[in-house]
Structure 1
């Protein structure tokens, strides 16, 4: 069954590719900017928790950081898996197939429930794993209390990603921004109340932080789902109708497309986790400088990430509509925008590293001098790192719009773990370039992956990635 589709009142997002570069740029920007700001707001959720846990004391902050470091790789992997809903819904919309949209979203919820259920026993094993790795028993016990209070957040987190993917495919990205900003405010209020026991509630400390994070993710899931079910141009998809009815073909398709995405995310997160461990072996100042430079780079990364999400939708729409020229325009416009922004941040990192580092480390304190100098040096490398990181994330997302995820996964594994990590170790420890060597290794791995993924998108027709075009 096929019916004509129209877009919601969130920008001009009808399934129409004029094949004009300016039109594509405007469409991509309209789709991407709320996603970019929403990603930045999402970072504030974690930042708020870090500040509040810091008020409890160093021991609690360390425990909360350990819990987050353990949970985040699994959570991001799950988000990557269910993120396959975005290109599949976009392709169905491009084909003007309402039934396929509904079934993909419904099975996306099924996959989210399955993945969260499989991850729960893993994240609840935090204490024996950390003790085996030699972590402090008291801090580990506190980290475990956080996890046992908040493990259930995996369900609304992954469910939210399914709804976000559906909304993004129909250009309803402004509501994602509004709900995420509301989530930041709700999280700050609830976390403050539960952590410190205000307004007659018990003092829950780290358990309060975990419960607040779970509640805010549940709030965002319910708010976005309510919007999808009641918006006049979205409710006709009836995404929850016959929820319990299986569609095993689409269930398997989500896993087929999504598993490589999740594993790619895990590979990249793992690379940076190992890099942090390597920096820890070098010294405390190096570790602090690494954290500062990485925070600045990660903040800038939110922009090409949002553009990449938009590229997935735009490329997916054109792919579903059988429009090869639309695919070309959508992919290259997003890449140009991502690289253009990262060229600006590269210039800033190279031109004013001391000023940027001083946001996090006070250069007026004598004890900070070495860490500040190191962070400024790492930031210079991060400037070049920016260009590669922006290119690889946008190219990877553009390929996802074509449901091309397996080969990019292997390219990412090879680039990160066979090229990047060994280079970081060789330069940092064998040649004794220390922290700068580790950062050059990270940049090398990202650049290698960026070249391969951009080349793969450029050669998409020769590689047979468009052989399933409809139309």
Structure 2
């Protein structure tokens, strides 16, 4: 999961050497891509609990069916999201963003939008692999992808080794090629492993079962909306920052990129919760299900505290990675960006714990195949609590950029509390029901 965000981190650091306008353009362009990516990744998570349950039950037929239909839906969704992002480009000019930033963002967005197709298809293979507890193979592919991205960025952004100097567009080409490499590599690995070979080969792609499609859509659509609501509040922070100017927007992108990396670590734990909870659900071992989920939440809190300390201690040093101190022309802009970003890093430090709790609990609930109520909870937390706080406190006459991030804190904390209440209620109800059934069975 960290590998997805690290691609953006490399893009931001390298593009940041070109100037604050270029960094803000990456931020603005990626808002559309991140929203689309959240929908695709969220939808693909439906595959994992079904595979985990089928794996525990040794039901190869249902497992392969879940993967095949998930792969089909992710392919269709990837193409659809690419087209939607392309059609939505003109909206950039209607959002009150700096014109200089929008003009730079448009060509970057074209290529990065196309990279959604291999990325969402990759997610189908990744979620399948996770469901079989084969989590290291997607990791290998994302590592390779990041290496490819770094090399291509270097030669294409700055025009090294005889390649043309393409600037921002060079970063987009790097991302696009890296994601195709990532998809091919994971498919190749899974075809070589005995445990996964039967699932990923000899797929009758267009022979579809309506019941399985409905089941995946029933699980995947709410999960997609859960991620959509969370990513939307973060991307709204980018838009609101753009209303304050290109420097606040660039600073917001720095803080967002760094906090997204720690979020992806928590998301990895969320996947672990989804897999193990799905396993225990298949075995009807609800005491173990609850114990495992709570243990992973505790681990996430411990890691979040470490990240919070890191952000608080290095709140000024980390943003400096993104700017060029030798750029005399943009020196004043760079200093303002660092000043704003260092303040936002303190806000990011504060919400590390609530962000980690909410995403791990969401994973556990997906493992239990409980998706409708968590979707409503995320809508309330981010749409009705978080965004209004960001909107009113983020105005220039209020708290500016820091006020926007106070809204993020409010939304994440609300989500963590409400999702914990839901998880606590469901698991206790399952344990009680299981105990009652055993007692009746005994008598």
TM-score, length-scaled by structure 1 = 0.80
Corresponding position of 2:358: 392
- Alignment of 1:245 with 2:197, yes or no, is no
Cα shift at 1:187: 2.0
- Alignment of 1:110 with 2:72, yes or no, is yes
Structure 2: how far apart are the matches of 1:191 and 1:372?
A: 23
Structure 2: how far apart are the matches of 1:129 and 1:59?
A: 19
Q: Secondary structure at the match of 2:51?
A: helix
Q: Report the CA distance shift for 1:270/1:363 in structure 2 as closer, same or farther (over 3 A).
A: same
- Alignment of 1:409 with 2:347, yes or no, is no
Corresponding position of 2:231: 269
Structure 2: how far apart are the matches of 1:466 and 1:96?
A: 27
Corresponding position of 2:49: 87
Structure 2: how far apart are the matches of 1:361 and 1:212?
A: 20
Cα shift at 1:444: 1.5
Structure 2: how far apart are the matches of 1:164 and 1:52?
A: 28
Q: Secondary structure at the match of 2:389?
A: helix
Give the number of equivalent residue pairs.
433
Corresponding position of 2:120: 158
Do the aligned partners of 1:363 and 1:372 also contact (CA within 8 Å) in 2? no
Do the aligned partners of 2:286 and 2:431 also contact (CA within 8 Å) in 1? no
Deviations, residues 34-69 of structure 1 (Å, cap 9, x unaligned): xxxxx3333332233345545666666555444323
Structure 1: how far apart are the matches of 2:273 and 2:152?
A: 35
Structure 1: how far apart are the matches of 2:144 and 2:57?
A: 34
Corresponding position of 1:177: 139
Do the aligned partners of 1:106 and 1:239 also contact (CA within 8 Å) in 2? no
**Structure 2 residue corresponding to 1:68, chosen from 2, 16, 30:** 30
Corresponding position of 2:387: 421
Corresponding position of 2:441: none
Corresponding position of 1:441: 407
Q: Report the CA distance shift for 1:147/1:438 in structure 2 as closer, same or farther (over 3 A).
A: closer
Do the aligned partners of 1:271 and 1:416 also contact (CA within 8 Å) in 2? yes
Where structure 2 has 5 or more consecutive residues not aligned to the other structure, the ranges are 439-443
Structure 1: how far apart are the matches of 2:22 and 2:311?
A: 33
Structure 1: how far apart are the matches of 2:188 and 2:432?
A: 36
Cα shift at 1:163: 0.8
Q: Secondary structure at the match of 2:351?
A: helix
Q: Report the CA distance shift for 1:395/1:431 in structure 2 as closer, same or farther (over 3 A).
A: farther
Cα shift at 1:231: 0.5
Corresponding position of 1:299: 261
Do the aligned partners of 1:402 and 1:466 also contact (CA within 8 Å) in 2? no
Structure 1: how far apart are the matches of 2:291 and 2:232?
A: 33
Report the RMSD for the aligned CA atoms in angstroms.
3.5
Corresponding position of 1:331: 293
Q: Report the CA distance shift for 1:410/1:54 in structure 2 as closer, same or farther (over 3 A).
A: same
- Alignment of 1:220 with 2:182, yes or no, is yes
Where structure 1 has 5 or more consecutive residues not aligned to the other structure, the ranges are 1-38
Q: Secondary structure at the match of 1:460?
A: helix
Deviations, residues 85-144 of structure 1 (Å, cap 9, x unaligned): 111111211222111111111001110122123223212224422233355677656544
Structure 2: how far apart are the matches of 1:467 and 1:163?
A: 35
1:177-216 to structure 2, matched below 5 A, reads: 177-194=139-156, 207-216=169-178
Deviations, residues 338-391 of structure 1 (Å, cap 9, x unaligned): 011112223344455445555557999887776655544443333321111111
Structure 2: how far apart are the matches of 1:45 and 1:211?
A: 12
TM-score, length-scaled by structure 2 = 0.85
Which segment drifts farther, 385-394 or 188-197?
188-197
Corresponding position of 1:3: none
Structure 1: how far apart are the matches of 2:46 and 2:150?
A: 31
Structure 2: how far apart are the matches of 1:201 and 1:369?
A: 31
Q: Report the CA distance shift for 1:434/1:208 in structure 2 as closer, same or farther (over 3 A).
A: closer
Structure 2: how far apart are the matches of 1:288 and 1:415?
A: 26
Structure 1: how far apart are the matches of 2:185 and 2:201?
A: 15
Cα shift at 1:326: 2.4
